[in-house]
Structure 1
Amino acid sequence: MKQKMTEKRIAGFLVIVFILALIPVLLIGKYNYPCADDFGFSAYSHIAWEETQSIFQVVIGALKTVKERWFGWQGTFSSIFVMALQPAVFGEAGYTLVPWIMIGAMSFSTLFLLYVIIRRVLGVRTPVYVGISMIYLIFALECMVDKTQGFFWFNGAAHYIIPHSVAVILAGLVIWVIKDEGHRFSKMVLACLASLFVGGGNYVTALITAILFVVALIAVVYIKKSKYVKMIILPFSFYLMAFIINACAPGNAVRQGEVGYRPGVLKSILLSFYYCVECITETWFDWTYMIFILALLPFLWEVVKTVGKKFSYRFPLLVPAASFCLLSAMFTPSLYAMGIAGGGRIFNIIFLNYLLLIILNIYYLLGWIYRHCRLGENKESCIESKDIKLYLFVLLCTTIFIGGLYSKVNPDYFTSTSALKSLVTGEAADYGAETRERTLQLQYNNQESIRLKIFDTKPYLLYYSDIGIDADDWKNNSMERYYRIDEIWGVD
């Protein structure tokens, strides 16, 4: 009982930390406001709601957007459908829900996948599962690469965070279908629907999903479990159907015509390995990642001990090598299509997968040590150990100290401190006042053209982009379609 109480207290503490970290992030969402592509992709839906107040007509407007963009700009039909339903369609106040939606999608999908793997497949205790999940979510929330595009700008997050989240759920569903025979039909239906969505989403998520499907098929054939093949083939077929529709869109050629330089396939692949190494060594391995790894160690060691010798851990070099290749593959679509490694919203989902791969690799390494070095074979929880308690306490103090120093120098380093800074200094409220004034001008305008003051206040989390001083600016054009105004000019 004492052992279980200790684990529960630590897990409960991590849950409280995550909730406290969320509070300022969700509060600042009150001042969030649509911009740029938010207007262009949801114009039909917004007009339909204004004219009919009908959800059905809004959906028709979203489908019209999908058709227009599929022929004229890009084939990612499932992402476009979601983009066309951004919350401000039903009123600008709805945009305050964006961080709730994006953080909720990221959190639910991660909790689901880790639940399936840690609880259902490996049979590990709930507090250990909660501890690992919370460490991941706290780190993902606070250290997201581009926080604005990850949590606050709907259009960018809808194209990357949501498909990523659905792909994570898909992985959990496929594993669960294979592991558990209960409700297999309903889980398979959900897996097929998720596959359709992922296949019609961004190419980064779509590519690694295809790779994971192929790896899963190879794995079940290798272990001679042919009965599992059909459980993978069926959702994979739905994925392929959606991806073909996505890739064959005439709009893709139109968009590619706007790109000046594009490396070939082979060069894109080679550059992918280069950028992966660069990101890991120069960007994604600072003190925060060391804290992340050190915090995970006792929890993952408990997973290894619970699993015992059920797994042989025969591939200690193959797993990190395969992880590196998978992570590198996420850079390839952007390099091939545009000649660049990707923008902030692309790096966001690469980052989230990087964290999952860190968990996998630490677990596998600890499993190999446990199996081949005969360590930790006693049944007592290492988390109950006084040494581990001291270890975790020192780690917590170190995190608070270093994190406090970084936050003092750069409050925008962490998502929560950035939100708290904007709330306390009043810049979030000032930005909110500017957006409300602009919204009222747009809603009550009865002229063919209108001049809008360009934003003076630009909070780190809330501000992504603004209109230009030229009425021909594409951002102005998007807003013109949304509000049905002939010309919108930006004024300094």
Structure 2
Amino acid sequence: MIQDKTEKRIAVFLIIVFIFGLIPILVIAKYNYPCADDFGFSAYSRIAWKETHSLLQVLKGAIITVKDRWLGWQGTFSSIFVMALQPAIFGEAWYRVVPWIMIGVMSLSSAFLFHVILRVCMSVRKSIYVCITMLYLFFALECMIDKTQGFFWFNGAAHYMIPHSVAVVLCGLIILLFKEDRHKIRRMLAACVASLFVGGSNYVTGLSIIILFVVVLVVVIYLKRRKYLKRLLLPLVFFTVAFLVNICAPGNIVRQEEVLYRPGVAKSILMSFYYCVEYFTESWFDWTYIIFILSIIPFLWEVVKTVGNKYRYRFPLLVPIASFCFLSAMFTPSLYAMGEAGGGRIFNIIFLDYLFLIILNLYYVLGWIYRHCRVDESNESCIAKKETKLYLITVLIMTVFIGVLYCKVNPDYFTSVSAVKSLVSGEAKEYGKETMERTLRLQNNTHSELELSLLKTKPFLLYYSDIGMEENDWKNSSMERYYQIDNIIGVE
């Protein structure tokens, strides 16, 4: 395939744009502060570090937390273990690394899966791989459904973003298990560890992996590849054992007793299809998705041309139908457990998978067109053509124009713009000042009871929740355990 320097220039440009988008997000992170479940799930670990400064004792505290929650609240043992290790246990200043962690795991896992699919399996040029990966990551970073729960609140992100990222890595590892090379034992061990972790995490991610395991097994059986079936067996066993330990936890029963309405299995499944249509057509789909699709088409076309006639693309209708069913299934666990479609942190990982599926479906449609319509069979890169360059410049101008309009109407729509707004207006600094003063009072308190002023400044990205004005508020109780204070009350 004859390529042009334009591809590399675009790849470098997209990397620079992504880095520039990260800067205000990582700057505002210095004002980030733990809240709500951050305190409750890490109390044992924080006390262990305060009293011993031993990492081993901190890990023991995390294990105690897992045991208590597994017996008394929820079975997601791997997520709980991570929640118990939130960075602020080593000092509140460490909480500023939370966005680095969440954006890091999202970016690295996505880049790994794209590398496996595009570079290892399809032998796509590095510049095209970088362009597709950067477009995905930039859109995921800027348009995340709930930015606070996705990047800044550790507890919520640890329960969903981290397991989702591990699941993405697991998908890449499963693909690599089918390759014959000297790394297969190492990959098998990594796949087993990832399977164990995902099986013990949230049920949305768990159900997604169950579906993918079933699909892969069906394909392997259909193709009569018995040796591949054996390679899938061990990760599947690890996942199944972990998932059973997860769903059979006594704490799940305790938690379900507090839920007033549960629609049942059949109704939950039917409602999942409804909510999938509603959220993606009425609530989330807008011009930014169209820009994403228009931006990525030329690079996917290069993927199609690189692959050539290797695939026959026989199921142009099955792929979008299967994608819709897969996305709908991600709404089911929350509907079944709580009678609602889910919260921001659940929508975040559905959104990330939605972006993956947009790319998959676009690729498949373009592949079908290339195979059956015999379009553009030359060896020249389409990116090198004047028409494509003009097309990409037009898309870039549209992106800037529409982006400016969105920023004017709603500065919090894009993550980076929201961060810049809070930094320039001073609300991020004021929020940091309030939380620091509160932290000093909590750390230096010598009384059994403490009154804390409720937070006045609430930046869009940084603020998730605050303590309450009633003594029995669960958020107050979590903070009391964390700082070892008998009674904390919020006051105006």
Q: Is this a same-fold pair by TM over 0.5? A: yes
Matched, 1:96 2:96: yes
Secondary structure of the corresponding residue to residue 165 of structure 1: helix
Give matches, 1:57-68, under 5 Å: 57-68=57-68
TM-score (norm 2): 0.99
Is residue 121–residue 179 contact of structure 1 (8 Å, CA) maintained in 2? no
Aligned to 1:399: 399
Shift of 1:2: 8.5
Question: What residue number does 1:326 align with?
Answer: 326
Tell me the residue number matched to 1:237: 237
Tell me which amino acid in the other structure corresponds to 1:333: P
The residue that corresponds to 2:175 in the other structure is 175
- Counterpart amino acid of residue 82 in structure 1: V
Q: Which residue of 2 aligns with 1:6?
A: 6
**Distance in 2 between the 1:381 and 1:463 partners?**
47
Return the alpha-carbon distance in structure 2 between the equivalents of residues 347 and 432 of structure 1.
28
**Poorly superposed stretches of 4+, deviation over 2 Å:** 1-4, 179-182
Q: Tell me the equivalent position of 1:204.
A: 204
**Paired amino acid for 1:93:** A
Report the AA paired with residue 459 of structure 2.
P
Q: Does 1:72 align with 2:72?
A: yes
Q: What code does the residue aligned with 1:317 have?
A: L
Name the residue aligned to 1:428.
Answer: 428
CA contact (8 A) 2:74 2:252 kept: yes
Q: What CA deviation, in whole Å up to 9, does each residue of 1:162-187 have, x standing for no partner?
A: 00000000000110121342300001
Distance change in 2, residues 1:396/1:333 (3 Å): same
Deviations 1:200-255 (A, max 9, x none): 00000000101100100100111122211111121011000000000000000000
Q: Percent of counterpart pairs with the same letter?
A: 69
Structure 1 equivalent of residue 37 of structure 2:
37
Query: What letter is aligned with 1:202?
Result: N
Identify the residue that residue 303 of structure 1 maps to in structure 2. 303
- Is the aligned partner of 1:340 residue 2:349? no
- Contact 1:14 1:135 (C-alpha < 8 Å) held by counterparts: yes
- Compute the TM-score of the two structures, normalised by the length of structure 1: 0.99
Q: Any idea what the Cα deviations from partners look like across 1:304-339, whole Å, max 9, x if unmatched?
A: 000000000000011111111000000000000000
Counterpart residue identity of residue 314, structure 2 = R
Q: Distance in 1 between matches of 2:180 and 2:477?
A: 52
Please state whether the residue corresponding to 2:488 is helix, strand or coil.
Answer: strand
CA contact (8 A) 1:45 1:84 kept: yes
Write the distance in 1 (CA, Å) between the matches of 2:103 and 2:464: 18
Q: CA deviation at 1:284?
A: 2.7
Q: Distance in 1 between matches of 2:226 and 2:348?
A: 36
For 1:99-178, list aligned pairs within 5 A: 99-178=99-178
| C-alpha distance in 1 between matches for 2:162 and 2:116 | 20
Cα distance in 2, alignment partners of residues 137 and 275 from structure 1: 25
- Report the Cα distance in structure 2 between the residues aligned to 1:266 and 1:340, rounded to whole angstroms: 15
- Give distance in 1, aligned partners of 2:49 and 2:376: 62
Q: Secondary structure at the residue paired with 1:452? A: strand
Q: 1:180 to 1:360 in 2, by over 3 A?
A: farther
Pairing 1:46–2:49 present: no
Contact 1:434 / 1:455 at 8 angstroms: preserved in 2? yes
TM-align CA RMSD: 0.9
Report the Cα offset of residue 283 of structure 1.
Answer: 2.0
1:162 counterpart letter in structure 2: I
Unaligned runs of 5+ residues in structure 2 are none
Count of residues paired in the alignment: 492
Q: SS of the counterpart of 2:467?
A: coil
CA contact (8 A) 2:2 2:380 kept: no
Cα deviation, 1:428-483, whole Å, max 9, x if unaligned, reads: 00000000000000000000000001000000000000000112100000000000
* CA–CA separation in structure 1 for the residues paired with 2:295 and 2:315: 24
CA contact (8 A) 1:24 1:419 kept: yes
**Matches of 2:350 and 2:182 in 1, distance apart?**
33
Deviations 1:346-403 (A, max 9, x none): 0000000000000000000000000011112111000011110011011001100110
What SS class does the counterpart of residue 273 from structure 2 fall into?
helix
**Cα distance in structure 2, aligned partners of 1:4 and 1:438:** 57
